[in-house]
């Protein structure tokens, strides 16, 4: 069993490596789809994890379709969304599972969903954002980098959730709020909506 110190070190290394890959590949630039491509590459970097993710949620959707109907996407996401998002963000991406809060709800129709993801960046993660941006000469405030990381990690779920439910499904980020924390950490709250399309 790993000590909590070793686990924290490993977690910090995982976040650092992820951040370096994203910044190096994209320069955090949206133009030309650079940032979206870097996140797409990140989701397929470890195909075993991606396959495990699909193997976890595809059978749940198949059961849902039989018992409740394929037209009830919104209630499925309301029921399973917390697990889907937390596992996606903490296993496919390096966000700390225990510092993630997710709430999912039905949207305006049986296929629309809505919710929020709240994540508390640790002081170490905030400092890594500053260090790596300096290393790559990226002049972007740490809050903006934190926003780009979380919103793009959420939106990168599109192809995978589409594969799970068997129809093209898109996630859009909505209202974003920041909250300063203790010891130089901070939290971000990202609203999202999901729609067929």
Average pLDDT, integer, range 78-88? 97
pLDDT at 3: 40
Answer positive or negative: Cα dihedral of 12, 18, 20, 26. negative
Residue 97 has pLDDT above 90, yes or no: yes
Per-residue pLDDT tens over the stretch 135-155: 999 999 999 999 999 999 999
Residue percentage of the chain with pLDDT more than 90: 87
Residue 8 has pLDDT above 60, yes or no: no
Residue 176 has pLDDT above 60, yes or no: yes
Give the residue among 83, 79, 108 at the shortest CA–CA distance from 195. 108
Count the Cβ atoms, other than its own, within 10 Å of residue 10.
Answer: 12
Residue 125 has pLDDT above 90, yes or no: yes
Average pLDDT, integer, range 81-94? 96
Q: Is 92 left (phi over 0), alpha (psi -120 to 50) or beta?
A: alpha
Going by pLDDT thresholds of 50, 70 and 90, the confidence category of residue 183 is confident
Count the Cβ atoms, other than its own, within 10 Å of residue 17.
Answer: 11
Domain boundaries, the chain: 4-196
pLDDT at 182: 73
Average pLDDT, integer, range 41-59? 94
Whole-angstrom distance, CA of residue 191 vs CA of residue 162: 20
């Amino acid at each position: 069993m790993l000590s909590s110190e070793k686990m924290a070190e490993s977690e910090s290394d995982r976040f650092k490596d992820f951040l370096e890959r994203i910044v190096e590949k994209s320069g955090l630039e949206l133009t030309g789809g650079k940032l979206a491509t870097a996140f797409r590459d990140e989701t397929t970097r470890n195909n075993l994890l991606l396959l495990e993710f699909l193997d976890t949620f595809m059978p749940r959707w198949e059961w849902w379709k039989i018992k409740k109907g394929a037209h009830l996407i919104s209630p499925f996401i309301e029921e399973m969304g917390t697990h889907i998002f937390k596992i996606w963000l903490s296993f496919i991406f390096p966000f700390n599972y225990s510092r993630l809060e997710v709430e999912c709800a039905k949207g305006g129709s049986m296929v629309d969903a809505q919710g929020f993801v709240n994540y508390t960046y640790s002081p170490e993660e905030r400092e890594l954002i500053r260090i790596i941006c300096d290393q790559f000469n990226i002049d972007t405030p740490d809050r903006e980098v934190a926003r780009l990381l979380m919103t793009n990690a959420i939106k990168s779920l599109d192809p995978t959730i589409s594969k799970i439910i068997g129809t093209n499904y898109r996630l859009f980020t909505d209202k974003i709020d920041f909250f300063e924390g203790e010891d130089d950490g901070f939290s971000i709250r990202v609203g999202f909506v999901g729609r067929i399309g």
